[in-house]
A = this chain, B = another copy of it.
Amino acid sequence: MSNYDQLISHYQTINHFNHAQAMLGWDAAANMPAGGNEARSNAMAELSVHVHRLSTQPQLSEWFNNAENETLTTEQTASLREMKRQWLQATLLPEELVQAQSKAGSKCEHAWRTQRQENDWTGFEKNWKEVVTLSREEAQIRSDILGLTPYDAMLDKFEPDTTTVSLDVLFSDVKTWLPELIEKALAKQQTESIIMPSGIYPTAAQKSLGLDIMKLLKFDFDHGRLDQSVHPFCGGVPSDVRITTRYDESDFVQALMGIVHETGHARYEQGLPKAFAGLPVGEARSMGIHESQSLFFEMQIGRSKDFITHLLRLSKDAFNAHKDPVFTEDNLYKLYTRVDKGFIRVDADELTYPAHVILRYEIERDLINGLIEHTDVPEVWDEKMKATLGISTKGNFKNGCMQDIHWTDGAFGYFPSYTLGAMYAAQYKATMTQTVDIDAAIKSGDLTPIFQWLSDNIWSQASLHTTDELIKRATGETLNAAHFKKHLEGRYL
């Protein structure tokens, strides 16, 4: 057996344990009663340790060295590159640091759940100090090994090959036009009337409607299912993708669009190439590309006028609401494109969302690079919120810098993915329009041509190319914020 084949076999073994881990994680969120938590956590920790052991086995180093001198096809070369990337990620941090981070992160996150509710910055800050210190240590080690700046080395975990230099260009562009666009959209919106949902929308009806929408979006029910959880997510494995949503019986708006969003994630996973199933090269390219699929489904398809027409038809039947004035094309479209300057990122609309992300990006970049300290964060947050959305979070920690879970356990470098995803999605749309009549496809209810484009250009490509290559092959250029601007102006002006 060649060393390349040894590696393939080894990474398939790892994949089997990751399969177990993924399903246990989904089950813990979707099914498990609270009393099952301790045994589950122990089982999942054991699986993690085992996967880490497999991922850092001493002979891998030799296999990688030898495999690089073996004769490989282009695809095998890409496969080797991605296995090596995962191996490097698994081996570059000393085990003691990983353990210290896991401990400090768990402690900080656990306490945060009550500290946030109590607006207790002082208590949070004490735990968070250690998380930030260890993350900076991690960033420095990654930086030394990868030859990147500390923050870029953290970005690399979620967005390989994306750098501060490119993000600064993209995001400073957005900052030149976004605040004005938000103001214009709000001014336009003020001249319009809207009817908010005020009925009872039973969970069973919302679920059945959600399943209809998933069918319209060609979710493959032979390879996945829809369930409920407190925080909606897309989990499972490519051959069995588990998406979840949550239902609010007084409002159907969020659950339905949540299902559209998660279906985008799911179809990416379901569309990954079978030939590389279970191998790193067969996995999704990055968090940003993953988000580009969910946001293409949510923003480019889901909130389009033609899709809203389908939503209207299906909702009226599901809720037996043929006479309810909430359910008109015009009103439903307004509900799904409403703009509001609020404190909370996860509740933000399409237009203000990037402001929340850019704020976090700038803070975590400077924090990891040592330009600010963790105690500076509340003040910097307040300043930036005032500058971009014109609202103050002074003393309001729980709706300010304490609102997200990400930083509590040190997931620095993740936030940019959300807005990168939105930008990629707008760029796909601009290219796709040249060969696909998108509006006609949505209107007809047969969205196949759209999905075929996504499959050809993104899903089937998995991690065969770097992100920049993938985007260039799909759209003819690397990421360009102009498409995003044009999309938002088209919708909100």
Q: Which residues of A contact B (CB under 8 A)?
A: 13, 16-17, 19-20, 23-24, 27, 31-36, 38-40, 42-43, 45-47, 50, 220-225, 237-240, 277-278
Of listed A35, A38, A222, residue having the most chain B CB within 10 A: A35
Question: A31-B225, A46-B16, A224-B33 are known contacts. Are A239 and B39 too (CB-CB below 8 A)?
Answer: yes
Which residue of the partner chain, among B23, B36, B220, B277, contacts A24 with CB atoms under 8 Å?
B23
The answer to whether B35 touches A240, judged by C-beta atoms less than 8 angstroms apart, is yes
Per the bound structure, the CA–CA distance linking A38 and B16 in Å amounts to 11
Per the bound structure, the CA–CA distance linking A39 and B34 in Å amounts to 28
Of listed A13, A34, A40, residue having the most chain B CB within 10 A: A40
| CB of A379, distance to nearest CB on chain B (Å) | 44
The answer to whether B20 touches A237, judged by C-beta atoms less than 8 angstroms apart, is no
Report the nearest B residue to A222, measured CB to CB: B35
| CB of A9, distance to nearest CB on chain B (Å) | 12
Which chain B positions have C-beta within 8 A of A39? 19, 237-240, 277-278
| CB of A69, distance to nearest CB on chain B (Å) | 30
A-B contact list, 10 entries, CB within 8 Å: A13-B46, A20-B43, A20-B47, A35-B222, A35-B240, A36-B223, A36-B237, A39-B277, A39-B278, A50-B50
Report the nearest B residue to A204, measured CB to CB: B204
| CB of A88, distance to nearest CB on chain B (Å) | 24
The answer to whether B40 touches A240, judged by C-beta atoms less than 8 angstroms apart, is yes
Per the bound structure, the CA–CA distance linking A36 and B223 in Å amounts to 6
Per the bound structure, the CA–CA distance linking A243 and B50 in Å amounts to 29
| CB of A342, distance to nearest CB on chain B (Å) | 36
| Beyond A13-B46, A17-B43, A36-B240, 16 additional pairs, beta carbon < 8 A | A16-B42, A16-B45, A16-B47, A17-B47, A19-B39, A23-B23, A33-B240, A35-B220, A35-B222, A35-B239, A35-B240, A36-B223, A36-B224, A36-B237, A39-B238, A39-B239
Per the bound structure, the CA–CA distance linking A188 and B490 in Å amounts to 82
Per the bound structure, the CA–CA distance linking A38 and B12 in Å amounts to 14
| CB of A98, distance to nearest CB on chain B (Å) | 19
| CB of A222, distance to nearest CB on chain B (Å) | 4
Report the nearest B residue to A220, measured CB to CB: B35
Which chain B positions have C-beta within 8 A of A237? 36, 39
| CB of A87, distance to nearest CB on chain B (Å) | 20
Which chain B positions have C-beta within 8 A of A13? 46
Which chain B positions have C-beta within 8 A of A36? 223-224, 237, 239-240
The answer to whether B225 touches A33, judged by C-beta atoms less than 8 angstroms apart, is yes
| CB of A279, distance to nearest CB on chain B (Å) | 13
Which chain B positions have C-beta within 8 A of A278? 39
